[in-house]
């Protein structure tokens, strides 16, 4: 029997393998990864510096040990160039490999903003442990770092580096932090606490030029102002990796299009994690990946199982002012209502049917996410616990 082949070695790939091994210890599995395949927690990349952890310190289990524990065949440093769905095989830098079913856990790539200047290519991003290792090396001896992007990753890095003693500037074209996740009243709660740690905010503008300077780099912003910095990190978002699937003729949009069973337009090819668009939605956070992995493992083991997503709050790792948010779609019909202001904000999103479908908790209210989660879907805002 040809193996189930998984492409990728991040949380999505390893979660599928772990869940499948709970159901079937013997079904042949092969994992292909273009890096070493060591298992680590990717969310730790944005808050490891203040803890003094280098790249090696973030590795939880080496790839060879993962392969032994979970009984799979490992192909590390293996580039996949094509999927031949007709012959059910993949073409790789290590030869042609057959599959019975194929799981795409390809992840996503950092979005690169076009920039002018003689140092535009020097902009860094952190999307994996190798990026983090390069970043730590580049940060040695620096005093000031600039981050493009005031979203979740940008805010987490800003808090982490400021806590480690760096001066940090954040540049974002929006009006306040975390604008894609929460309303302005909540987002602005981060401004003063992070500024107190050493974060300098620049909203309503963007970086347009990066030029070399004697002390590092000179950044020219869209509003004409300039910043001098030792390093520029781009944290403006990720784009699902769809090229391999698209070349194979699979249906793609923002991500690789899959149904509730994580099945693509080819019945024997599945996708999950950052590369997947599940019934029209890209869900790149940890909890959706875990739920998808459990459902897919059951399907691969022979029990067709659709993924069901419960309410899944996102925790933003900003110790200076903690945040927990259950986001709502940008086109959601309803309104945000505020229920607490002291030491942070507590807000609920009330839809057209008077149900709470989202919430934001910041500061001292962030610890209330479990209680708020229990109220999701309930009617009557006046009964919201305060």
State the CB neighbour count (10 A cutoff) for residue 333.
10
Please compute the mean of the pLDDT values over residues 237-265 and round it to a whole number: 97
The region, left, alpha or beta by phi > 0 then psi within -120 to 50, assigned to residue 268 is: alpha
Residue 386 has pLDDT above 50, yes or no: no
- Reported as a pLDDT band with limits 50, 70 and 90, residue 1 is confident
Q: Indicate if the alpha-carbon torsion angle 61, 319, 321, 196 is positive or negative.
A: negative
**What band does 340 get if pLDDT is binned at 50, 70 and 90?**
low
Model confidence at 382, pLDDT cuts 50, 70, 90, reads: low
Domain 322-383: top CATH class: alpha beta
Report d(CA 58, CA 48) in Å as an integer: 8
Mind listing the pLDDT tens digit for each residue in 75-95? 999 999 999 999 999 999 999
pLDDT above 80 (res 99) = yes
Provide mean pLDDT across the span 233-244.
97
Average pLDDT over residues 302-321: 94
pLDDT at 62: 97
Alpha-carbon span 244 to 124, nearest angstrom = 24
Residues 181-217 have pLDDT tens digits of 999 999 999 999 999 999 999 999 999 999 999 889 9
Q: For tokens 């949380």, what's the residue?
A: 11
Contact indicator for 205, 198 with CB cutoff of 8 Å: no
CATH superfamily of 112-234: FAD/NAD(P)-binding domain (3.50.50.60)
Q: Domain spanning 4-109+238-300 has what CATH number?
A: 3.50.50.60
Name residues whose C-beta falls within 8 Å of residue 126's C-beta, 6 or more positions apart in sequence: 45, 46, 132, 135, 153, 157, 233, 235
- Spatial separation of the C-alpha atoms in residues 290 and 363, rounded to whole Å: 27
Who's near 51: CB < 8 A, 6+ residues apart? none
**pLDDT (0 to 100) of residue 380:** 58
Q: How far is CA 201 from CA 18, 126, 174, 195, 237, in A?
A: 42, 21, 11, 8, 18
pLDDT (average), residues 107-123: 96
On the question of a common fold for 4-109+238-300 and 112-234, the answer reads: yes
- What is the mean predicted confidence (pLDDT) over 69-75? 98
Q: Among the listed ranges 97-106, 224-233, 344-353, which one has the minimum average pLDDT value?
A: 344-353
Which tokens hold the place of 208? 């347009």
Question: Does the pLDDT at position 344 exceed 60?
Answer: yes
pLDDT at 225: 96
Please say whether the beta carbons of 46 and 157 come within 8 A.
yes
- pLDDT average, residue stretch 222-236: 97
Could you tell me the sign of the dihedral formed by the alpha carbons of 8, 9, 10, 14, in that order?
positive
| Residue 240 and residue 259 in contact, taking contact as beta carbons nearer than 8 Å | no
SS (H, E, C) the chain: CCCEEEECCCHHHHHHHHHHHHHCCCCCEEEECCCCCCEECHHHHHCCCCCCCCHHHHEEECHHHHHHHHCCEEECCCCEEEEECCCCEEEECCEEEECCEEEECCCEEECCCCCECCCHHHCECCCCHHHHHHHHHHHCCCCEEEEECCCHHHHHHHHHHHHCCCEEEEEECCCCCCCCCCCHHHHHHHHHHHHHHCEEEEECCCEEEEEEECCEEEEEECCCCEEEECCEEECCCEEECCHHHHHCCCCECCCEEECCCCECCCCCEEECHHHEEECCECCCCHHHHHHHHHHHHHHHCCCCCCCCCCCCCEEECCCCCCEEEECCCCCCCEEEEEEECCCCCEEEEEECCCEEEEEEEEHHHHHHHHHHHHHCCCECHHHCCC
Mean of pLDDT over the chain: 94
> What confidence tier does 284 reach under pLDDT thresholds 50, 70, 90?
confident
Instruction: Give the integer Cα–Cα distance in Å for 290 and 178.
Output: 24
Domain boundaries, the chain: 4-109+238-300, 112-234, 322-383
Say yes or no to pLDDT of 306 above 60: yes
pLDDT of res. 379: 82
The model's confidence at residue 335, banded by pLDDT at 50, 70 and 90, is very high
């Amino acid at each position: 029997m040809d193996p189930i082949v998984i492409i990728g070695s991040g949380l999505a790939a390893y979660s599928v393998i772990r869940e499948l091994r709970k159901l079937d210890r013997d079904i042949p599995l092969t994992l292909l990864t273009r890096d070493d395949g060591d298992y680590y927690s990717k969310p730790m990349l944005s808050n490891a510096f203040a803890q003094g952890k280098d790249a090696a310190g973030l590795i939880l289990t080496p790839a060879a040990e993962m392969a032994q524990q979970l009984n799979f065949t490992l192909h590390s440093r293996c580039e996949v160039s094509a999927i031949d769905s007709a012959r059910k095989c993949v073409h790789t830098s290590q030869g042609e490999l057959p599959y019975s079913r194929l799981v795409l856990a390809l992840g996503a790539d950092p979005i690169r903003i076009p920039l002018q200047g003689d140092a535009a290519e020097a902009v860094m991003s952190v999307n994996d442990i190798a990026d983090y290792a390069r970043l730590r090396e580049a940060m040695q001896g620096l005093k000031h770092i600039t981050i493009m992007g005031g979203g979740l990753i940008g805010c987490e890095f800003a808090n982490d580096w400021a806590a480690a003693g760096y001066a940090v500037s954040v540049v974002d074209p929006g009006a306040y932090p975390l604008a894609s996740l929460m309303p302005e009243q909540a987002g602005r709660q981060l401004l003063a606490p992070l500024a107190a740690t050493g974060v300098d905010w620049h909203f309503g503008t963007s970086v347009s030029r990066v030029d070399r300077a004697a002390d590092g780099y000179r950044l020219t912003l869209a509003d004409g102002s300039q910043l001098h910095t030792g390093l520029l990190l781009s944290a403006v978002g990720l784009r699902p990796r769809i090229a391999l699937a698209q070349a194979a003729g699979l249906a793609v949009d923002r991500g690789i299009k899959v149904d509730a069973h994580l099945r693509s337009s080819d019945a024997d090819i599945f996708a999950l994690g950052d590369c997947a668009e599940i019934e029209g939605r890209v869900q790149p956070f940890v909890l959706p990946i875990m739920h998808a992995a459990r459902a897919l493992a059951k399907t691969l083991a022979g029990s067709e199982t659709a993924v069901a997503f419960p309410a899944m709050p996102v925790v933003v790792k900003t110790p200076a002012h903690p945040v927990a948010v259950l986001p709502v779609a940008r086109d959601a019909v309803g309104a945000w209502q505020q229920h607490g202001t002291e030491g942070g904000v507590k807000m609920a999103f009330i839809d057209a049917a008077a149900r709470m479908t989202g919430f934001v908790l910041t500061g001292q209210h962030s610890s209330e996410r479990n209680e708020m989660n229990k109220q999701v879907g309930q009617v009557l805002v006046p009964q919201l616990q305060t």
